[in-house]
Structure 1
Amino acid sequence: MNERSRPPAAGRPVRADAQRNRQALLDAALRAFAQDGIDASLDAIARTAGVGIGTLYRHFPTREALALAAYQHDVQRLCGSAGELLKTLPADAALREWLARFSEYIVTKRGMSAVLRSALTDPQPFYAELNVRERVLGAVTTLLDRGTADRLLRTDISADVVVLAMIGVWYVSAEPTTPDQLSRLLDLLVDGLRVRPPDR
């Protein structure tokens, strides 16, 4: 890695102008990735943000780093909605709704789907630093914990198993899939997590 592409040292204060540049790059990247997918031109993103390509690389040493950071805020917001859903819905219904929202998020951001899948499964330090996997697991754990406490959801299924199942759903949804088919897949997943009454 050359000097211009070296990320800021951990713990070093970030100047106000650097923060503005970083936010401008993230905003430009979100628009570019939404329009052109993950292969959107980094030069064009830098121009839209009003900075040079060297500034982009100082903040984001790789394309994947920029893509993940651009969507980190969206993922954080989405994961935070798990607690909000529990305020109005039973835990099993809240889990079903949250998984539907997350699936829609992945499907509508097809250019990001492969990167987000990598963030959920790849042990590389950069992915871990962005906490994408931890945020998703935290949201699912919040929903599962309420469901088990309310005896609506099984106690023998962990959040990481649910996330692995969701990755399978996303692979299916990467192909031409109708909303009804996706909904049925989610119904099957959540139905398998529900507590069954004992046979009489």
Structure 2
Amino acid sequence: MRRLVALALLALAPACSKSEETPLPPPMDGQLEPIPNPHGSVTPLPDPEVQEGSVGRAPRRITVAQLKTSIEKTVGRPWTQLDNLAASLGRADYANIVTENTEPNLVFAKFLEDGAREVCLAQAAAEMSVADPNARVLSRTLPVVSGTAGNLTQLTDAQKSELLVYLSTRFWGAPLHGDELTKWQAFFTQAAARSETIRKRDHAFAAVCIAMMTDSRFLTY
């Protein structure tokens, strides 16, 4: 029956309607009717090497509203000066500017660094008197942190790795690993040594917080 239908359709086609496409041969008994490729030519994806390792659209910077929410959710406290600086950070006022500016620039980077210092230093200092790890953010995975906390330079590599993996997942949504994790371990070791010298152990946690908040992975999506 399939073959008869196919032959009938071929017979009804005008003899003079030759198109550029080659007509499909009639199916054999027990064979499905041949179907032309509906996709046509496929455009290959761009080379990741010419796009800094990414395929698809370029990363976009988060808006001021998204930044505000991200800081509060990630660190646990707001940036108090954010609303005052919103216009400089790119938020539209819908009077003179109706489109929010999400381009990364030096002004945004400078103000964000100031905000990161405010938020991270305050949160790190507050956690020094909190015993419950679930109530802490920047030192969540470490033993009880208090005003008489132990020397952070004596933490094991495993403890440093656990903390940095937790924080990178919290700030960026992706854990540190490999050589990059090793570099961040060295950074925390230096920060811990410095904080011990000035007798302000909370500064070690604040330093990591500031570095992760000002990283492009916290600001783009």
Regarding TM over 0.5, the answer is no
Which is greater in Rg? 2
TM (norm. structure 1) is: 0.29
Higher relative contact order (CA closer than 8 Å, sequence separation 6+) = 1
TM (norm. structure 2) is: 0.27
